[in-house]
């Protein structure tokens, strides 16, 4: 690795770190996965440190958290592209500690690409917990389909039932006249996220039916559920990208897919 690239990777400028991560990912360097994993951990630690600053700090804590979250997202995407199993432990840490929901969503995609069985249990734990957004759960479901472990069938079917109930509830409130414009937008996004989950789970179950031993997955595991998925999603942000961000200073900010605000730059 060149001295310039090393300098960029350790820069205080998040754009330089993202550029260094992308350059490393395409360099063919045998140490690329290790170096990118280190950059991911550093960005997580920096975001945590920013969140603990006093409220009267001169530095903008929220901006630093978002900047480091963008580095985390770029690093997770790069590690997924490299498909190096040595990065799994770092990605599993990011699955729990990533600063924003869109970081953790990128981590689920990376784990699905690497296809290492160490990711199965943490992803199943995610499915069982209700604090995660539907968009993030859709990412976890897709990753479990790629991992091909029959242990995911039951949890995915349970998640499907939850998603169906939530979709029905949202549709019943479609004409609620009490919605403010902001509430209407949130309703549309929730419906889009649940719709994405309802489409992702049957696909995951069908993949499991193909890759797992015949006796471990019901032959129709993905068929009945596929019929329950909505044929169209409401107008909203791209599938899987309408996830709520992590809580910062008591406020939930929304991440509209690749169309981030100025502080949330998409990864190339």
Answer for the pair 98, 128: CB distance below 8 angstroms, yes or no. Answer: no
- Verify that 163 and 205 share a domain, yes or no: yes
DSSP 213-246: -GGGS-TTTTHHHHHHS-SSPPS-SSTT--PBPP
- Verify that 9 and 99 share a domain, yes or no: yes
pLDDT in tens, 183-227: 889 999 999 999 999 999 999 999 999 886 665 555 555 544 445
- Verify that 125 and 138 share a domain, yes or no: no
Question: Model-level pTM?
Answer: 0.80
**Structural domain harbouring 183:** 134-242
Asked if residue 94 is part of any domain, the answer here is yes
pLDDT of residue 253: 36
Is 90 exceeded by the pLDDT of residue 7? Answer: no
**Percent of the residues in the chain that have a pLDDT greater than 70, as a whole number:** 78
- Verify that 64 and 164 share a domain, yes or no: no
pLDDT bin (cut points 50, 70, 90) of residue 21 is very high
Is 80 exceeded by the pLDDT of residue 99? Answer: yes
- Verify that 112 and 155 share a domain, yes or no: no
pLDDT bin (cut points 50, 70, 90) of residue 4 is confident
Is 90 exceeded by the pLDDT of residue 242? Answer: no
Exposure string of 169-208, with b = 16+ CB inside 10 Å and e = fewer, is ebeeeeeeeeeeeeeeebbbbbbbbbbbbbbbbbbbbbbb
Mean pLDDT over residues 48-63, rounded?
85
Lowest-confidence range among 29-33, 86-90, 225-229, 254-258?
254-258
**What's the length of the chain?**
268
Long-range contacts of 180-188 (CB under 8 A, 24+ apart): 186/254, 188/234, 188/235, 188/236
- Verify that 1 and 127 share a domain, yes or no: yes
Mean pLDDT of the chain: 83
Q: How far apart are CA 61 and CA 179, in angstroms?
A: 33
Is 80 exceeded by the pLDDT of residue 146? Answer: yes
pLDDT of residue 179: 82
Q: How far apart are CA 233 and CA 240, in angstroms?
A: 11
Higher pLDDT, 254 or 34: 34
With a CB cutoff of 8 Å and minimum separation 6, the contacts of 24 are 1, 5, 9, 32, 35, 36, 78
């Amino acid at each position: 690795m060149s001295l310039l690239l090393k300098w960029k990777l350790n820069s205080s400028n998040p754009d330089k770190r993202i550029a260094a991560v992308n350059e490393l990912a395409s360099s063919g360097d045998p140490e690329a996965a290790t170096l990118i994993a280190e950059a991911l951990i550093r960005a997580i630690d920096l975001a945590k440190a920013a969140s603990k600053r006093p409220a009267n700090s001169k530095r903008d804590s929220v901006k630093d958290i978002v900047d480091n979250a963008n580095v985390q997202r770029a690093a997770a995407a790069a590690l997924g592209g490299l498909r190096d199993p040595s990065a799994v432990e770092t990605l599993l840490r990011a699955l729990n500690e990533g600063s924003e929901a869109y970081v953790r969503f990128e981590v689920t995609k990376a784990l699905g690409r690497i296809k290492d069985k160490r990711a199965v249990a943490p992803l199943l734990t995610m499915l069982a917990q209700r604090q995660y957004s539907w968009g993030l759960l859709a990412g976890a479901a897709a990753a479990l389909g790629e991992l091909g472990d029959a242990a995911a069938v039951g949890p995915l079917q349970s998640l499907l039932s939850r998603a169906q109930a939530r979709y029905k509830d949202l549709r019943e409130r479609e004409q609620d006249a009490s919605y403010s414009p902001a509430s209407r937008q949130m309703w549309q996004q929730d419906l889009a996220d649940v719709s994405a989950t309802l489409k992702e789970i049957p696909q995951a179950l069908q993949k499991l039916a193909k890759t797992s031993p015949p006796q471990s997955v019901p032959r129709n595991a993905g068929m009945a559920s596929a019929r329950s998925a909505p044929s169209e999603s409401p107008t909203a942000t791209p599938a899987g990208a309408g996830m709520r961000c992590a809580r910062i200073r008591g406020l939930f900010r929304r991440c509209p897919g690749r169309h981030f605000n100025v502080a949330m730059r998409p990864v190339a």
